[in-house]
Amino acid sequence: MYKGWLPALAGAAAMLAQTPHPQSTKYGVGRAATPEEIGAWDISIAPDGTGLPEGSGTPAQGKDVYASKCAKCHGGQGQGGDEGPLVGGKGTLASAKPLKTVGSYWPYATTLFDYVRRAMPYKQPGTLTTNQVYAVSAYVLFLNGIIPETAVLDAKSLPQVKMPNRNGFVGDPRPDVGPKRAAK
């Protein structure tokens, strides 16, 4: 029963081996990713804003983006609908019924940009322009009462937005992770 696919596999391996690249010498397969291919995946934004792209947006600009691309799932005011809420829950974290939202729980505003850009709208991720991501992030922060309606969010101002739960997290005290580990 194995006789059929073993030669087929060997044939496939031989085909792959015909397109070597500098880093493939070890296994003899694949090719180096192009800078463009790496760039398309290399979109992580650090908590301090490192990696934020050029562009900007205001809550007023984000209102329309939100209404047409987010409200259906997250509710007209971010209160939740078919999917979870993005707004509210402030002050509930220590209660018997904590409501974790962007406003009540997330420690960094920069994460909102990163998350929306990479994952939303849920069924069409990656379709928003940079300015739309800034704008709709601004609108969600505005709905949470964190920034005024006139605030302009960009690579400089977004990291400065102070989230209500910024200090609600504790560090990991284990010695084998984090900076202590890295210093070794």
Interface residues toward ligand HEC, by CB under 6 A: 69-70, 72-74, 83-84, 86, 101-102, 112, 115-116, 120-123, 136, 140
**Cα distances (angstroms) measured from residue 122 to each of 103, 141, 151:** 20, 19, 26
The residue nearest ligand HEC at its CB is 70
Q: Which amino acid is located at 66 in the chain?
A: Y
135 versus 155: smaller Cβ distance to ligand HEC:
135
Closest contact distance (angstroms) between CB of 137 and ligand HEC is 7
Integer Cα distance of 104 and 91 in angstroms: 7
For residue 83, the minimal CB distance to ligand HEC (Å) is: 4
Under a CB-based contact definition with an 8 Å cutoff, are residues 106 and 165 in contact?
yes
Closest approach of ligand HEC to the CB of residue 69, in Å: 4
Please say which residue, 29 or 152, places its beta carbon nearer to ligand HEC. Answer: 152
What letter does residue 169 receive in the DSSP assignment? -
Q: Work out how close the CB of 71 gets to ligand HEC at its nearest, in angstroms, rounded to a whole number.
A: 8
Q: How far is the C-alpha of 96 from the C-alpha of 115, rounded, in Å?
A: 28
